Amino acid sequence: MGIRNIPAAGTHRKRSRVNNHFRSFVGTDPHQLEVIMINNAFIFIIVSIVLTLLSLLLDRKKTVMGLKKGWKMFQNIAIPFLNILILVSLALYVVPPSLIVKYLGPGSGWGGQMIAAIVGSITLIPGFISYPIASVLIKEGASYAIVATFMTTLMMVGVVTLPLEIAYFGRKVAILRNVLNFITAIVIGTFVGFIL
């Protein structure tokens, strides 16, 4: 990751690690990823404005109700979300990217994917928290296949919640479902890595 030490052409502004990694990750066009991010924001803003207007046209009361509901959900996750951002910022400082590249990078092969699948199965990280983590992993050099495997096991396999699942479905079915989904997650990760 020698790129990090090369000052970016034309900018004397101090950049944090994340930003430098935008550069090394994207390679040829340093602004590409930032542009994608801004585009993303635009998509969200435009879609939400259009939907709100459309909804207002159709039913004023429902729209107000929907906006209130959305605001409430946002309030519920805002503080936990900020906390997780703090944690990720800290982790990003402590964990060297070379470590991430070594164990979760494109060169880590099956081993990396197994690590991702096992960690994803065991941990119980709420979905909305896992996305910033996944995006940092990718920026720091983890491969798409591994991140997709991690996200999928996180969502579909639950070792911690297995007792609860057994209570609902019975031992055999619960274990079968988890094992099947574990395998499926690895297949999904492999395919996603192949596509991207």
Partner 1 sequence: MINFLRRKKQYLWLFGFLAVTLASFVFGFNPGKEVFGNFTQFFIEMVTFIPFLFIIVGLFDVWFPKEQVEKHIGQESGIKGILIVIVLAMLQAGPLYGAFPVAYILYKKGASIKNIFIYLGAFSSLKIPMLGMEIGYLGIQFTLARTLVSLPLFIAVGYFMEWYLKDRDFKINKI
Site for partner 1 in 39-58 (CB under 8 A): 40-41, 43-45, 47-48, 51-52, 55
The contact mask relative to partner 1 for 124-163 (x = CB under 8 A, - = no) is x-xxx--xx-xx--x-----x--xx--xx--xx-x--x--
DSSP of the chain: -GGGGSPPTT--S---HHHHHHHHHH-S-TTHHHHHHHHHHHHHHHHHHHHHHHHHHH-HHHHHHHHHHHHHHHHHHHHHHHHHHHHHHHHHHHS-HHHHHHHHSGGGHHHHHHHHHHHHHH----HHHHHHHHHHHHHTT--HHHHHHHHHHHHH--STTHHHHHHHH-HHHHHHHHHHHHHHHHHHHHHHHHH-
Q: Which window, 2-10, 23-31, 112-120, 164-172, contacts partner 1 (CB under 8 A)?
A: 164-172
Residue in 16, 35, 99, 111 binding partner 1, rule: CB under 8 A = 16
Does 96 contact partner 1 by CB under 8 A?
no
Residue in 8, 35, 73, 99 binding partner 1, rule: CB under 8 A = 73
Does 171 contact partner 1 by CB under 8 A?
no
Residue in 62, 95, 109, 111 binding partner 1, rule: CB under 8 A = 62
Residues 174-193 that bind partner 1 (CB under 8 A): 176-177, 180-181, 184, 187-188, 191-192
Does 9 contact partner 1 by CB under 8 A?
no
